[in-house]
Amino acid sequence: MVNTSPFGYEFCLVYLVCDFTLCFQSMLLMLVISLDRLLLIQMGPSYMIRIAQRVAIAQVTGAWIYVFVMLCPIIIGWGVYVGNSPDVDMVCEAKLTHDHVFTTILTFVASIVLFMTSLNCFIYVKIKQRLMVNQNRNIPVQSVSTINPDNQTATAAPKPTAARNIDS
């Protein structure tokens, strides 16, 4: 058999671990970000109090550890599991992708994308509901025009609540 892995078996394993880990990590990190956005929408102002920077770091670190612990032993130990020795087949490919049971399980795990899509649709609906509630409150906005020394008209922000109450 032709050696298509010029850097050797160990380099091939490191490459495969990095490849699979980075791909799954990117999906998992998008899921963590989506869950974080949902918490922000649900908690509102108390989000900054409850979710500190250390919680975010713990979530991202946990995602990295989860993916690494899940995939690294599978990729490194696959040859032992199926009985192939590294010197028999030097083709640098993930042999585990030829196993139908494993690819089915991997596809199920990769369905994180479907969960994330559903989660983002839910976030979109929540944002639309919040916008509708704010529009239904129909807070009157009055602008105040002033003339500055350069004879240019400037429009200021809405009147503060106290000023609106005095005018009423």
Q: Which domains does the chain have, with CATH numbers?
A: 9-141 (1.20.1070.10)
Q: For residue 71, which amino acid is it? A: L
Q: For residue 138, which amino acid is it? A: N
Half-sphere exposure (CA, 13 Å, Cβ side) for 85?
Answer: 2
Element (H, E) at 60: helix 53-82
Positions in the chain whose pLDDT score sits under 70: 1-6, 82-90, 138-168
Q: State residue 96 phi and psi, 5-degree precision.
A: -65, -20
- Rounded Cα distance, 37 and 59, in Å: 13
Task: For Cα atoms 111, 115, 119, give the angle at the middle one, nearest 5 degrees.
Answer: 160
Please give the pLDDT value at position 89. 57
- Rounded Cα distance, 12 and 92, in Å: 6
pLDDT digit string (tens) for 106-119?
777 777 778 888 88
CB under 8 Å to 135, separation ≥6 — which residues?
Answer: none
Please give the pLDDT value at position 1. 38
Please give the pLDDT value at position 151. 54
pLDDT digit string (tens) for 81-97?
766 655 555 677 777 77
3-class DSSP assignment, residue 7: coil
Please give the pLDDT value at position 62. 92
